Amino acid sequence: MHKDQQTTLPAYQLSPEEALQQLDADANGLSQHTAEQRLEQFGPNRLPQTAKEGLLKRFFKHFHDLLIYILLVAAGATALLGHWIDTAVILAVVIINATIGFIQEGKAEEALESIRKMLSQRATAKRDGEWQEIDAEHLVPGDIVRLRSGDRVPADLRLLDSNNLRIEESALTGESVPADKNTQAVEFDTSLGDRSGMAYSGTLVAAGRGLGVVCATGADTELGRINRLIANVETLQTPLTRQMADFSKILSVVIVGLAALMFLMGYLLHDTAYGDLFLAAIGFAVAAIPEGLPAILTITLALGVQSMARRNAITRKLNAVETLGSVTVICSDKTGTLTRNEMTTRHVITAAHSYHVSGTGYAPEGEIKCDDDTISSGHRVDLDALLETIAIANDSRVEQKDGQWQVVGEPTEGALCSLSQKARFDRDGYQRIAEVPFESDNKFMATLADTPDGERRILLKGAPDRLLDRCQLQLDANGDTQPLDREWWDEQLDKLSAEGLRVLAAAARTVSSTKDDLSIDDLNELVFLGLIGIIDPPRPEAIDAIATCHAAGIRVKMITGDHAGTAEAIGLEMGIGKEGELKVITGAEIEAASDEELIRLAQECDIFARTSPEHKLRLVSALQSAGEVVAMTGDGVNDAPALKRADVGVAMGIKGTEATKEAAEIVLADDNFASIARAVEEGRTIYDNLRKAILFILPTNGAQGLVILAAVVLGMVLPITPVQVLWVNMIVAVTLALALAFEPAEPGLMQRPPRDPGAAIISLAFLVRIGLVSVLIGGATIIVFQWQLQQGTDLDMARSIAINTLVIAQACYLFNSRFLTTHSLNPALLFTNKVVWLTVGILLLLQSAFIYLPFMNTAFGTTPLALQHWLLPLAVGIGVFLVIEGEKWVWQRVG
């Protein structure tokens, strides 16, 4: 265990000098002896590993389920009856289910391991007054560490010095652009993304250099805190597993109770022998237990997984597919999920014109328009001057790699590169002479460059307020200068900022051709060229997907680390909330809210900004407390705890971190929110198909059990022997029930509201159907058997005809079960699932072998039948089908 590394005050609240004093360190670094003592005290700089369960324990705990116990009892019963094939089938189902659960078990451990891999392997630290490269695991609080561009930050650092330092923190904060760093202290309640004087473990240095003192290592870092959150999060049961668990309990009590009742009544009323009653009770239990149900459940979900994979949604856990179908709320990260995580220029404003820029991402595809006219370089003097500045005073570039346009350098500069290429601006002929690099204190970059027309110019881009302070003039439409209208530019800046845009400005002036150096003192009396509005644009397909979710009764909430203004603008553009009614809740408000208040806020509000990992986790928990079924999407490490807690965690496959993917149940191969909407549709289809399978299996098993139950209770000769019941049980389970897993979506599926996750899997209508079909098929089988005996038919033939009646009636009922909300007599829907016809054909072949093959006659006590003996079972089957279609009509009229 680590000893407490908490200091009197958080390091970000302290000045560099105070931080060094509190950590008992100085700028010359620790001595090797002191470092070794602190390593002994605080432990190595790595995330702790929890003790793992043994393989056998992990495997066998998947047998701890009531339905599995029922199946094991069924396997034991079939073994007692000597029906080894059925025993093997049932045991195979149990083992396959346990194996699937065992494989998925290590998910959380893999997520923790992925976070551990984010830690830096090596670090440059000052020991004994000299810079040394050491293993990052050996860093201790008080170590002085040097950071350079491209380094991964090895521990949580309080910065002592920074030079143009910018750090990519999106995995922790959700910010879409690197954060500028300095050495300033901030207040206690400052959010993680605004602590400019800190560098956090696992983040990446995008530019510049820095020096910091280690203030936290291992489990006490921000990364370690997230690691603990993941380890401590409880994973909730899915709606399906909850319902199946409840259903299994009820079913087991009913079956065991009826078997005991049958045994008692047979003995007390008819004085039947113990041995016969025991075999009959086992036969009844095997007939009534739907041992095929777990297999159907697994197969249906597996087919759904394959279908989703074709739609770019890769499923890591089978039950998650069904859970998606019951989702009532989708909580989505903004950056990279709803948006592209690719900065894009939207607006350019000069003193003379306002330009709109189309296209999204870094791809230089799109147009620059002004008053519906498409503009390119060389046609507008004001635009050309601005394009020249942003293209030449730029150290980044965009390039195509593996079919995707990417930025090499800063995301914001990448957006400017893409803009200049959309305008077909030609950079050839320019030569940079000198530059003033970007510094976070100045917030601008300047270059001195020779232009193709023989002039030498200062080109400046950066924060609008800083540039406006250095300008006295502005450029008009004709390329002439006029006095700067500062008030007008401030208004334009406010308008762009209100749209959630990141705003940059450009300025320039011509200088003497003999000037060959550049300093900040030269950056005065400039000509202001205009403003550029940049945004991380919404995915167009995500806007449509959100509309689809709303139509399906699913609320979409945006949870982001970005600023409130940006979040609100993106939310409105995507259709999350309505203008004038939208309220954005910040991380500080979440922090201050009690659990009860947060439940209310989580339900009332749809956009949450400046959030931390704990905030996301609390929001998901609050929604679940309100009875919502929550899907959470994300791509950063900061999303992982909430993804694990959510009913369905959805990670981005391309830009998502490994920790996020391992914590999620579903990974989107295309990072596209639209794939979630398609996955919801697939989930609803799967749940429908599972209900259809239940609606088929339970009454058919009920009919088989009823035949034995009624015969024993009434003191009749068994119409079907226990071994024959096992045959029917097996062939129906491996043929007919499987067909329903292949049913396509019913019409209007995505116009339904989400189903109530608390509702019973078997409704009143289902109970009526199960009882009606059980009595119809079971009663018809008994009546046919008794009638055959009265006609003088021998016992084996009467039983053979009764078995055919039972099998064919179940095959006809399969067609009733194909549709929950519509009639099965619709010719247009008759052949939408060809697997149904295939399984009926296989069933008839197997049943024919059962009736006509001599060795089957010997094993099961059957006898060959003439053709006319098939007509009565067929008539019964058609009658059952018509009665159930009539029952559907009655329910539709009543409902």
The kind and range of the H/E element at 73 are helix 66-80
- Say how many residues make up the chain: 895
Helix ranges (DSSP H) in 448-563 = 464-469, 486-498, 540-551
Measured CA to CA in angstroms, residue 810 lies from 74, 610, 695, 728 at distances of 21, 58, 12, 10
For 681-715, give the DSSP string.
HHHHHHHHHHHHHHHHHHHHHHHHHHHHHHHHHHT
Amino acid at residue number 11: A
Reference 622, options 250, 329, 217, 248; nearest CA is: 329
Pairing of strands 666-668, 313-315: antiparallel
Instruction: Quote the distance between the C-alpha of residue 544 and its chain's center.
Output: 18
User: Where is 611: in which H helix or E strand?
Assistant: none
Q: Which residue is associated with the tokens 């150096």?
A: 517
- Integer distance in angstroms from the first to the last C-alpha of the chain? 62
Helix (H, G, I), strand (E, B) or coil at 167: strand
Residue 475 is given by DSSP the state E
Taking the CB of residue 792, how many other CB atoms lie within 10 A of it? Answer: 7
CA distance 40 to 167: 31
Tokens of residue 344, six digits: 């894009």
- The CA distances from residue 384 to 176, 350, 423, 424, 458, in Å, are 29, 11, 9, 11, 15
- Distance between CA 680 and CA 658 in Å, rounded? 24
* Euclidean distance between CA atoms 206 and 409, whole angstroms: 8
CA distance 508 to 530: 10
Say how far apart CA 316 and CA 81 lie, in whole Å: 39
Q: How far apart are CA 650 and CA 674, in angstroms?
A: 12
Of the candidates 220, 45, 231, the residue with the CA atom closest to the CA atom of residue 140: 45
Contact (Cβ atoms closer than 8 angstroms) between residue 385 and residue 508: yes
Report the catalytic residues: 333
Angle subtended by helix axes 239-270 and 66-80, to nearest 10: 40
Q: What's the one-letter identity of residue 572? A: L
Taking each helix axis from N to C end, the angle separating 411-422 and 381-392, rounded to the nearest 10 degrees, works out to 140
CA dihedral angle for residue 815, residue 751, residue 686, residue 690, rounded to 10 degrees: -50
Residue 827 per-residue DSSP state: G
Q: Exposed (0-12), middle (13-18) or buried (19+): which is 833, by Cβ within 10 Å?
A: middle
In the DSSP assignment, the letter for residue 717 is P
* 123: phi then psi, degrees, rounded to nearest 5: -145, 150
| Beta-carbon contacts of residue 405 (< 8 Å; ≥ 6 apart) | 342, 361, 362, 363, 364, 398, 399, 418
CB 682 within 8 A of CB 312: no
Residue 797 sits at φ, ψ, to 5 deg, of -70, -40
Q: Could you write out the DSSP letters of every residue in 115-139?
A: HHHHS-SEEEEEETTEEEEEEGGG-
